Amino acid sequence: MRRELKERLRKFRALHLCEVVIKAYEEKFGLFSQSDIEDYMFPERQLADLIKDKDDLALWFFFTCPGDKLIDSRIYYKQLGEFYLKNPNFFRLNDSVFKPDINSLLENVNVRKPDEFSRAIYENSKELIERFNKNPLSILKSNDYEGCVKDIKKFFGYGKEIASLYLIFLKRYGIKTVKNLAPKIDRHFLRISAGCGVFKVKKGMRVDEATKKISELYTEICKENFLDAVILDPATYVIGKRLCSKKNEILCKMDCPLDYYCTKEIPKTNRKDTTLYIERKKANQQVFNFSPERGLWNPNIPVSYWPENIREKFMEHAGVLYRDLKEHKLEVKLVKISDGRKKRALENENPSWYKKLIRWGVIKGSNRYKIVNALEAISKSEDNRFCRHMYKNQSIFRNLIFERLTEGYIFEENNAQPTLFSNENGIPVPPDREVAEYFGVKTDINKKPEILEKDMDIPF
């Protein structure tokens, strides 16, 4: 009786998890409101958009899905797309003996296990030519998910999860409709399921054992409740990749639709024996020290964590400061005066915001090259999360940019680009309304800034 109740509770939690994720996607809630999120959810579109013929697309997906294992899918499919443009007929099985130049593929496309990947292409192409008339769709004799998985698992490199991925791609792009389709269970789905109490990680539990149990559970749930795995699969993938793997509760609270249900107990894989163990997600203590005036801001988080529109404003402003610092460096030269004597004259000087940060002791003038590198990293969205003593300058300048964007500042003459600013006393720049509203900062957009970074709150 107790075991039956536990099983019912597991199914209820799993079903609720699926419904919450699908609803969040449909309503563009949290993470799914970010303008660039679908680029992460559907990385294979970078290949699919180039291949107009559905049979060709089915063939390319059939050979390339086994390579989609434990690598960055966005890079993988981008490289495949670039390779397709140069070799559109690479996977066309026109000859009775298919001999593709695998080395040319591997030189242009990164895969985790090149030997396995090349073996899959050779063996599967031979099987397709001899038994299935060169068409992978001929493999799928059933229209039901479990029947299709059974058919395709006979091919090298195809377990249940990669078979699920292939069937999801076929349905997403209108190539073949499969009933009762279930999502691919990967490490991201395991993270979410364990965190939300769908299963408990026991000591010594193997990854394949956990994957098998969870896969059976979600297959049953999708079949009974007619859930759309075509959306559920990429939505859970992007939650696990963009939120769970970051180990930062501020992102959970802001963007994750499952934060209310999550225990923050995240399973990780022991590389030695492929067993699972629990690593509790640790909160950054600053998350709980936000003041109402500073809203949800955290200077330790890289700009890549924020939505695209907010990230671009930080990157643009960092670029302005970077160019300002590169163009304005203290330079003194000797000029002749009367009686043949010489006098020092100021040729160029540091930006005022830079001098004030040095005067306040926030940065050191001797570390100018580090400051330049930090600003350049932020301007390219290549900055990193602050960790102990590492990337401190990046956090300082993320904070400076936040203050300038949410409180306004005086753009002084030596900071200005001559074509835009020519006022001798500098020009007041009001706060950015979009950034202030996103971080929940209460500010008067029409208030004129009084002095440049006078009250900047530096957390170091």
Residue-wise pLDDT for 109-134, tens only, equals 988 888 899 999 988 988 888 888 88
Number of domain units in the chain: 3
Cα(147)–Cα(181) distance, integer angstroms = 11
- The yes-or-no verdict on residue 168 having pLDDT over 90 is yes
The enclosing H or E element of 346 equals strand 342-348
Judgement on whether residues 136 and 19 belong to the same structural domain of the protein? no
Would you state the pLDDT for residue 330? Answer: 78
Judgement on whether residues 429 and 321 belong to the same structural domain of the protein? yes
Question: 289 or 139: whose pLDDT is higher?
Answer: 139
Instruction: Report residue 97: phi and psi, to 5°.
Output: -120, 115
In a domain, 293, yes or no: no
- The yes-or-no verdict on residue 391 having pLDDT over 90 is no
Burial of 337 (0-12, 13-18, 19+ CB in 10 A): exposed
In a domain, 292, yes or no: no
Domain boundary among 131, 150, 181: 181
Q: Is 361 left (phi over 0), alpha (psi -120 to 50) or beta?
A: left
At residue 389 the predicted structure's pLDDT band, cuts being 50, 70 and 90, is low
Would you state the pLDDT for residue 22? Answer: 92
Give the residue-averaged pLDDT of 154-160: 90
**Residue 337 C-alpha from the chain's centroid:** 61
In a domain, 452, yes or no: no
Judgement on whether residues 40 and 170 belong to the same structural domain of the protein? yes
Give the residue-averaged pLDDT of 360-384: 86
Give the residue-averaged pLDDT of 212-236: 89
The terminus-to-terminus CA distance of the chain in angstroms comes to 57
pLDDT tens, residue by residue, 243-296: 887 766 767 777 888 887 887 777 777 776 677 777 665 443 333 333 334 456
Q: Tokens 């895969």 identify what position?
A: 111
Reading the block at residue 57, the tokens are 């697309």
In a domain, 69, yes or no: yes
Judgement on whether residues 97 and 219 belong to the same structural domain of the protein? no
> Which among 329, 326, 327, 332 is positioned nearest to 346, based on CA atoms?
332
- The yes-or-no verdict on residue 425 having pLDDT over 70 is no
- The yes-or-no verdict on residue 311 having pLDDT over 70 is yes
Judgement on whether residues 75 and 103 belong to the same structural domain of the protein? yes
Amino acid (one-letter) located at 423:
N
Amino acid (one-letter) located at 24:
A
- Of the given ranges (216-220, 355-359, 400-404), which has the lowest mean pLDDT? 355-359
Give the residue-averaged pLDDT of 411-418: 49
Give the residue-averaged pLDDT of 196-200: 84
Judgement on whether residues 151 and 41 belong to the same structural domain of the protein? yes
Would you state the pLDDT for residue 48? Answer: 93
DSSP annotation of 413: G
- The yes-or-no verdict on residue 42 having pLDDT over 80 is yes
Judgement on whether residues 206 and 269 belong to the same structural domain of the protein? yes
Give the residue-averaged pLDDT of 400-413: 81
Reading the block at residue 210, the tokens are 């956990």
Supply the mean pLDDT for the chain: 80
In a domain, 100, yes or no: yes
In a domain, 450, yes or no: no
Report the share of the chain in percent with pLDDT over 90: 19
Would you state the pLDDT for residue 44? Answer: 93
Judgement on whether residues 113 and 161 belong to the same structural domain of the protein? yes
Cα(80)–Cα(77) distance, integer angstroms = 5
Judgement on whether residues 229 and 271 belong to the same structural domain of the protein? yes
Judgement on whether residues 263 and 162 belong to the same structural domain of the protein? no
Question: From residue 315, how far is each of 251, 301, 302, 398 by CA, in Å?
Answer: 20, 14, 11, 10
Cα(262)–Cα(90) distance, integer angstroms = 45
The enclosing H or E element of 115 equals helix 114-131
Would you state the pLDDT for residue 247? Answer: 66
In a domain, 387, yes or no: yes
- CB neighbourhood size of 172 (10 A): 18
Q: Could you list the residue range(s) of the whole structural domain that residue 236 is in?
A: 1-33+183-283
What residues contact 206, with CB distance under 8 A and at least 6 apart?
274, 275, 276
Cα(351)–Cα(209) distance, integer angstroms = 60
265 half-sphere exposure, CB direction, 13 A CA radius: 15
In a domain, 444, yes or no: no
The enclosing H or E element of 225 equals helix 207-225
Judgement on whether residues 311 and 426 belong to the same structural domain of the protein? yes
Cα(417)–Cα(122) distance, integer angstroms = 59
Judgement on whether residues 48 and 29 belong to the same structural domain of the protein? no
Q: Tokens 């999860």 identify what position?
A: 161
Reading the block at residue 174, the tokens are 């209108």
- The yes-or-no verdict on residue 199 having pLDDT over 90 is no
Domain boundary among 254, 283, 312: 283
Give the residue-averaged pLDDT of 363-388: 85
- The yes-or-no verdict on residue 460 having pLDDT over 50 is no
> Has this prediction a pTM greater than 0.75?
no
Contact 137, 176 (CB under 8 A): yes
> Which among 70, 68, 44, 43 is positioned nearest to 57, based on CA atoms?
44
